[in-house]
């Protein structure tokens, strides 16, 4: 599941980065790369402002900003940088060491959202894959404060090198972008049903948990898995209540199995000794054992088929990527995983 989300995160990154990275690799930064002790005169400032508006507005990530916004950005930059630096940014884009300064200027002028959407729109339009996703839909619920570090991270990469997947995951973890991507793909094709819309809302917590928890890459971290299975159980509880009547029995059975998994991990984590170096590995083994015992008390033989039917129905109704929550259980409990 994590590898799939990482791939999606990189697709999002590639789109949002269009026009944002510096056009040339970073040269050696001076001791004081942006601050000036000799502010430009009024005449100089007006001239630089006009040249910045003409240059930065011609192409690149700032091209869709109004002249008023570009002038504001120029003024903010002139307050902290030399005229040479400001004109260089206008003509060549910011160098990596200037990333934070530029984004702060954009923020002061209320222009972060516009720049972010310009890059995202260009990237999605240039994508040769599936039909482009509406940027407004994709960014629904995403705040400017969440966009800013993504822009800084991308601008700080020399020569257009993109941010790596792990770094992007950490920045996306607090946003609804991943669930939006699933929702907006269906919405763009006119296939988003009220059921899928509600399902993506509850799936959002699982996606954020996976993206924001590097410990899930480890082979033995019962605490991370316990937290994840806890929110995943809520997803199956929602399905058991909201899925179509023809699949309700399957959803209830799968939810029962999800409860067994969540409880098994919660129990071992509750008894975990944080001072014992071998405790995590022992707890993972104990959780698997308790999971098997718990499944033995229910109709575990029917779980694989029920899981397969429920997963197939979700894939047909909401798209195959909507079934990624099932991948969480692949290594815990053969009876449950067999339905994948």
Looking at the fold, whether 159 and 210 belong to one and the same domain comes out as: no
Total of domains in the chain: 2
Does residue 16 lie in a domain region?
yes
Looking at the fold, whether 149 and 200 belong to one and the same domain comes out as: no
Q: Range of 37's domain?
A: 2-172
Q: How far is the C-alpha of 318 from the C-alpha of 43, rounded, in Å?
A: 60
Global pTM value = 0.71
Q: How far is the C-alpha of 230 from the C-alpha of 233, rounded, in Å?
A: 5
Place of tokens 């109004």: 66
Of 138, 172, 206, the one marking the end of a domain is: 172
Does residue 238 lie in a domain region?
yes
Q: How far is the C-alpha of 102 from the C-alpha of 114, rounded, in Å?
A: 14
Looking at the fold, whether 35 and 168 belong to one and the same domain comes out as: yes
pLDDT at 104: 95
Please, what's the b/e burial string for 29-50 (b: 16 or more CB within 10 A of its CB; e: otherwise)? eeeebbebeeebeeeebeebbe
Looking at the fold, whether 64 and 153 belong to one and the same domain comes out as: yes
Looking at the fold, whether 157 and 198 belong to one and the same domain comes out as: no
Looking at the fold, whether 125 and 210 belong to one and the same domain comes out as: no
Q: Are 48 and 87 spatial neighbours (Cβ–Cβ below 8 Å)?
A: yes
Looking at the fold, whether 200 and 147 belong to one and the same domain comes out as: no
The per-residue pLDDT string of the chain (340 residues; one tens digit each, 9 = 90 and over) reads 444 454 445 445 444 443 444 444 444 344 334 444 455 555 577 888 899 988 886 666 787 889 999 999 999 999 999 999 999 888 888 888 898 999 999 999 999 998 888 777 766 665 555 556 777 888 889 999 998 988 888 777 755 445 555 677 777 778 888 888 888 888 877 889 999 999 999 999 888 887 776 655 545 577 788 888 899 999 999 999 999 999 999 999 999 989 988 888 888 777 777 777 677 777 777 777 787 777 777 767 788 889 999 999 999 999 988 898 888 776 444 444 443 3
CA distances from 84 to 44, 45, 67, 80 (A): 11, 11, 20, 12
CB atoms within 10 A of CB 225: 27
Looking at the fold, whether 155 and 91 belong to one and the same domain comes out as: yes
Looking at the fold, whether 273 and 162 belong to one and the same domain comes out as: no
pLDDT tens column, 258-316: 998 888 888 877 777 777 767 777 777 777 778 777 777 776 778 888 999 999 999 99
239 exposed, middle or buried (CB, 10 Å; 0-12, 13-18, 19+)? buried
């Amino acid at each position: 599941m994590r590898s799939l989300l990482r791939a999606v995160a990189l697709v999002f990154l590639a789109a949002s980065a269009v026009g944002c990275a510096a056009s040339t690799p970073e040269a050696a930064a001076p001791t004081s790369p942006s601050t000036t002790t000799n502010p430009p005169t009024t005449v100089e400032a007006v001239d630089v402002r006009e040249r910045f508006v003409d240059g930065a507005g011609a192409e690149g990530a700032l091209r869709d900003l109004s002249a008023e916004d570009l002038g504001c950005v120029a003024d903010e930059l002139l307050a902290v940088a030399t005229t040479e630096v400001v004109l260089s940014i206008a003509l060549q884009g910011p160098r990596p060491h200037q990333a934070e300064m530029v984004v702060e200027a954009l923020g002061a002028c209320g222009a972060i959202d516009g720049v972010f959407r310009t890059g995202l729109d260009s990237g999605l339009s240039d994508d040769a894959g599936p039909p482009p996703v509406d940027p407004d839909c994709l960014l629904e619920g995403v705040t400017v404060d969440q966009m800013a570090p993504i822009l800084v991270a991308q601008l700080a990469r020399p020569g257009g090198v993109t941010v790596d997947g792990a770094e992007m995951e950490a920045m996306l973890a607090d946003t609804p972008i991943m669930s939006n991507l699933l929702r907006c793909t269906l919405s763009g094709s006119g296939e988003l049903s009220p059921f899928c819309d509600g399902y993506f809302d509850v799936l959002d917590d699982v996606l954020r948990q996976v993206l924001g928890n590097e410990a899930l890459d480890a082979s033995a971290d019962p605490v991370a898995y316990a937290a994840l299975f806890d929110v995943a159980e809520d997803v199956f509880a929602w399905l058991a209540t909201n899925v179509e009547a023809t699949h309700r029995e399957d959803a209830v059975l799968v939810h029962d199995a999800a409860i067994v998994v969540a409880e098994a991990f919660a129990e071992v984590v509750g008894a975990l000794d944080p001072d014992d170096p071998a405790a995590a590995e022992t707890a993972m083994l104990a959780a698997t054992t308790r999971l098997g015992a718990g499944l033995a008390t229910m109709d575990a033989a029917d779980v694989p088929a029920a899981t397969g039917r429920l997963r197939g129905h979700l894939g047909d109704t909401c798209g195959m990527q909507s079934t990624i929550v099932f991948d969480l259980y692949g290594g815990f409990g053969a009876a449950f995983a067999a339905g994948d």
